[in-house]
């Protein structure tokens, strides 16, 4: 004769067996780390800090083989860490989702799966939350550069982190626009050339507007010094006007 205690024990063992069979999901959150310059793959419970904008891919990686389950539904939730999962600002039901994190702060990412077998019995799975922290912004525009092909300070490169919007222009002293900076080309830098020819040594104007991950607005107007240390001739440099 089975006692209530024994029945409860058998039920717990059965549920544990079902759960172990159902837990054939290996969720990951992957992205390219701008900090480490490598592709990163997080497992449940792991944490990483990186600058914005950060394009993440969340994959459930479900394998039903040998589990006895024939179907499943996924639910991803992304939420601010300080507000908790009940205040999730994004809920998606695909096995794989992509999202771009743009605001500074901590985020939790969690996956729920409902596994269903041929008799419509179901069991729930949830992973430990992934943790992603978006760093605060910084923006540094240097005072000048020396594009003389000596591999030292040959390009005008802006130092930045967690900048989500950026647009700038570089003008000569007559107001002619020589170069446009955006998030798409800012890492390449300006080589100090126009139509393949270097500009003259002298002063140029940078006019730049940017927005950081925490909402800070950057409005920068400054002089840039170009100093190649070589004598310019009329046919060796780009026209100025």
Distance CA 52, CA 214 (A): 10
What's the mean pLDDT in 4-8? 50
- Name, in order, each residue with C-beta under 8 angstroms of 169's C-beta and a sequence gap of 6 or more: 177, 179, 180, 181, 206, 207, 208
- pLDDT value, residue 23: 56
pLDDT (tens digit, 9 = 90+) per residue, 84-120?
A: 999 999 999 999 999 999 999 999 999 999 999 888 8
What is residue 17's predicted lDDT score, i.e. its pLDDT?
Answer: 47
Q: What is the pLDDT of residue 147?
A: 95
| Beta strand ranges found along the chain (DSSP E) | 28-33, 38-42, 47-50, 54-59, 69-80, 90-92, 96-101, 105-117, 122-126, 130-134, 138-140, 144-145, 159-161, 163-171, 177-182, 193-194, 197-198, 202-212, 217-226
CB 25 within 8 A of CB 126: no
This model's pTM is above 0.85: no
- Domains of the chain are 4-134 (2.60.40), 138-226 (2.60.40)
- pLDDT tens digits for range 122-132: 999 999 999 99
- CA 239 to the chain's CA centroid: 40
């Amino acid at each position: 004769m089975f006692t209530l205690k024994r029945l409860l024990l058998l039920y717990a063992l059965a549920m544990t067996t079902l759960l172990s069979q159902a837990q054939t999901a290996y969720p990951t959150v992957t992205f390219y780390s701008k900090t480490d310059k490598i592709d990163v793959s997080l497992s449940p419970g792991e944490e990483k800090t990186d600058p914005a904008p950060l394009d993440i891919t969340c994959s459930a990686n479900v394998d039903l083989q040998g589990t006895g389950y024939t179907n499943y539904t996924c639910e991803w939730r992304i939420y601010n860490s300080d507000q908790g999962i009940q205040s999730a600002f994004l809920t998606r039901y695909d096995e794989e989702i992509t999202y771009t994190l743009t605001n500074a702060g901590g985020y939790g990412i969690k996956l729920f799966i409902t596994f269903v077998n041929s008799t419509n019995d179901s069991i729930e799975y949830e992973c430990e939350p992934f943790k992603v922290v978006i760093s605060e912004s910084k923006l540094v525009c240097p005072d000048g550069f020396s594009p003389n092909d000596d591999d030292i300070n040959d390009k005008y490169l802006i130092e930045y982190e967690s900048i989500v919007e950026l647009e700038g222009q570089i003008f000569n002293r007559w107001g002619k626009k020589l170069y446009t900076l955006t998030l798409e080309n800012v890492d390449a830098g300006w080589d100090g050339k126009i139509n393949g020819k270097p500009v003259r040594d002298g002063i140029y104007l940078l006019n730049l507007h940017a927005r950081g991950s925490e909402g800070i607005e950057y409005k920068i107007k400054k002089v840039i010094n170009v100093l190649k240390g070589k004598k310019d001739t009329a046919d060796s440099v780009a026209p100025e006007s």
